[in-house]
């Protein structure tokens, strides 16, 4: 057992790409936690997608033993967290399991939007914060300016910020000393009834569900009978271990320690993050305050390109949902695309990651429909309906009003691009709430409709600011607006996979763009095809795809003009009949490209 005063639990928080995972690598390497031959870049990012995109998606934990200068050996439990806004809930729950944070700021770029968001999460969790300036080996680094910025923008003392380079290893010993001297040790009573927080859980093909816990009070041993307080489920502990990053068995976990247990739990669904684990026979009095479950924000349909792969897709989605409690799904059918699933995600990056994992790990080609958000529809009868899929919209005559989700967005942008950013937000129906300056950068706060942000806001923001803006948001509630459902008709048949909710003032432009795009994507048939965008019974945009034409008069030479005319009339009648009964085949590529969000 380790004494409480010799334990330090901390997380690393930062904006995307400021070097969290690299710093974690150096800490692991310097303390010899992992043998040199097993060391690799981004050691804690286990998923292929994390390594490939260079981002952290799941928060990961590791236990490091560090012999400090005062002669004691300390146990450091590190949790490496994601920096991306879609995975903010991973950050918030990791914070509850630890007492302090290392705030990593890039000394060349300074404080960014998610630096702020993540620091505020840490401050809310009552953390002691140690600022660390990374990348000071780069010629462009300005540590003094960034220190001032941390003090001005975040309001924490940065005079003792540690200057490091996680890449070269410069300054890393100072970080380890600061963790021991400046961060608090955990508190807890060894003799009290067991009270442990469920921090995370994932599915392992050999062990079943692996649960990561942080013990607050009491002791948990192998063979104990435990109970989850929220779900009331009971289990026997089969195995206790600590992560170094590989699992290392241990006999017991005491207060302040972070470890993992397996207890023949079948599904990750049975383990709710934030639940309190206690002994079955001698439970603690009241559970720990849990977390709000992560609410999906963006919905879209996933369909297999080949309908025969539907069962494979079901298996893939069920397996992914085992590991990701924030991902929801239900079955749906579509006339154009066949059987598939309506899935809920935390944001577009989350959607892309899940889609890539299904395509890569399970080898299934997917079509994704246009992403949409949850609308609240208030009916004339006084009833309230949640709308996840625009195709299920009730009859407009019965609707009193529609409310859409709004977000509060914080954008940090260099002064010279401010005008473009304000224009972009105004174009997206934004309402400006605040504009302040942090050094040479403007900090703009806008109230924006989530619907507009989900589409391609992030990409547009990056392109108008040449990549210098950073962006963070949180949901702020619902507001009524003039929203309508726009349908796309091909050859007078509605295509349900392409219907979407738009603002009435924008409908015409969006409809025209969609029709033009489909005209390029649908191959020509033997008959003329009208492509229309319609709201209710009113067509607001139209393009016509002309027919392929066989020259029926080729065999006529000389003779009377009426002969040619007769042949052309016959062809015209045939084309008319063909259009009546002909089916337009829209190729899968056309769907995928029509739904790309660069309109």
User: Is 18 annotated for ligand binding?
Assistant: yes
Residues near 213 by Cβ (< 8 Å), separated by ≥ 6?
196, 197, 198, 199, 220, 253, 258, 259, 260, 261, 277
User: Is 20 annotated for ligand binding?
Assistant: yes
Distance from C-alpha of 373 to C-alpha of 407, rounded to nearest angstrom: 12
Distance from C-alpha of 250 to C-alpha of 220, rounded to nearest angstrom: 11
DSSP H helices, 413-449, are: 418-427
User: Is 266 annotated for ligand binding?
Assistant: no
Distance from C-alpha of 462 to C-alpha of 413, rounded to nearest angstrom: 10
- For residue 37, with 0-12 CB atoms within 10 Å meaning exposed, 13-18 middle and 19 or more buried, which class applies? exposed
User: Is 593 annotated for ligand binding?
Assistant: no
Helix (H) or strand (E) holding 569: helix 561-581
- For residue 186, with 0-12 CB atoms within 10 Å meaning exposed, 13-18 middle and 19 or more buried, which class applies? buried
User: Is 592 annotated for ligand binding?
Assistant: no
Please state, in angstroms and as integers, the Cα–Cα distance from residue 182 to each residue in 148, 384, 416, following that order: 21, 52, 39
Q: How far apart are the first and last CA of the chain?
A: 60
Placement of tokens 């208030």 in the chain: 378
User: Is 372 annotated for ligand binding?
Assistant: no
Distance from C-alpha of 260 to C-alpha of 386, rounded to nearest angstrom: 38
Question: Tokens for 354?
Answer: 């899940």
Nearest partner of 216 among 126, 303, 288, judged by Cα: 288
Distance from C-alpha of 241 to C-alpha of 245, rounded to nearest angstrom: 11
Annotated binding-site residue numbers for GTP = 17-22, 134-137
Annotated binding site: which residue ranges?
17-22, 134-137
């Amino acid at each position: 057992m380790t004494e409480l005063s010799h334990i330090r639990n901390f997380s690393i928080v930062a904006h995307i790409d400021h070097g969290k995972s690299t710093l974690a690598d150096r800490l692991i390497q310097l303390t010899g936690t992992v043998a040199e031959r097993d060391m690799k870049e981004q050691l804690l990012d286990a998923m292929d997608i994390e390594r490939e995109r260079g981002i952290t998606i799941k928060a990961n934990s590791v236990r490091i033993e560090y012999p400090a200068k005062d002669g004691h050996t300390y146990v450091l439990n590190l949790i490496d967290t994601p920096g991306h806004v879609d995975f903010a809930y991973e950050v918030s729950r990791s914070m509850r399991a630890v007492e302090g944070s290392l705030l990593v700021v890039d000394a060349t770029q300074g404080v960014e939007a998610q630096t702020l968001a993540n620091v505020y999460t840490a401050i809310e969790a009552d953390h002691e914060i140690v600022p660390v300036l990374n990348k000071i080996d780069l010629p462009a680094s300005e540590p003094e300016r960034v220190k001032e910025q941390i003090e001005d923008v975040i309001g924490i003392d940065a005079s003792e910020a540690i200057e490091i380079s996680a890449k070269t290893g410069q300054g890393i010993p100072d970080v380890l000393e600061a963790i021991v001297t400046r961060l608090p040790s955990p508190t807890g009573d060894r003799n009290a009834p067991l009270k442990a927080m469920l921090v995370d859980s994932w599915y392992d093909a050999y062990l079943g569900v692996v649960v990561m816990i942080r013990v607050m009070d009491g002791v948990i041993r192998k063979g104990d009978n435990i109970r989850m307080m929220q779900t009331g489920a009971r289990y026997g502990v089969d195995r206790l271990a600590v992560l170094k990053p590989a699992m290392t068995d241990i006999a017991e976990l005491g207060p302040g320690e972070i470890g993992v247990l397996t207890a023949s739990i079948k599904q990750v669904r049975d383990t709710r993050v934030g639940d309190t684990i206690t002994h079955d026979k001698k439970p603690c009095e009241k559970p720990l305050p849990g977390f709000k479950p992560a609410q999906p924000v963006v919905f879209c349909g996933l369909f297999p390109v080949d309908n025969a792969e539907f069962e494979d897709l079901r298996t893939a989605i069920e397996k992914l949902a085992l590991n990701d409690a924030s991902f929801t799904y239900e079955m749906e059918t579509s006339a154009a695309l066949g059987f598939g699933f309506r899935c809920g995600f935390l944001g577009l990056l989350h959607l892309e990651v899940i889609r890539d994992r299904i395509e890569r790990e399970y080898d299934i080609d997917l079509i994704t429909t246009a992403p949409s958000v949850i609308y609240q529809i208030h009916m004339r009868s006084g009833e309230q309906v949640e709308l996840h899929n625009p195709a299920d919209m009730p009859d407009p005559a019965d609707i009193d009003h529609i409310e859409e989700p709004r977000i509060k967005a914080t954008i940090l942008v260099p002064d010279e691009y401010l005008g473009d950013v304000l224009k972009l937000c105004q174009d997206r129906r934004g309402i400006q709430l605040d504009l302040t300056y942090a050094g040479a950068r403007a900090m703009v706060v806008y109230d924006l409709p989530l619907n507009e942000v989900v589409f391609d806001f992030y990409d547009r923001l990056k392109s108008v600011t040449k990549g210098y803006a950073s962006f963070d948001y949180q949901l702020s509630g619902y507001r009524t607006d003039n929203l309508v459902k726009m349908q796309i008709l091909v050859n007078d048949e509605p295509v349900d996979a392409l219907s979407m909710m738009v603002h009435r003032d924008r409908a015409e432009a969006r409809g025209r763009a969609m029709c033009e795009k489909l005209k390029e994507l649908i191959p020509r048939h033997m008959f003329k095809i009208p492509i229309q965008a319609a709201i209710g019974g009113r067509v607001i945009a139209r393009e016509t795809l002309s027919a392929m034409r066989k020259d029926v008069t080729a065999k006529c030479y000389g003779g009377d003009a009426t002969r040619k005319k007769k042949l052309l009339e016959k062809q015209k009648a045939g084309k008319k009949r063909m259009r009546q009964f002909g089916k337009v085949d829209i190729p899968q590529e056309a769907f995928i490209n029509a739904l790309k969000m660069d309109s």
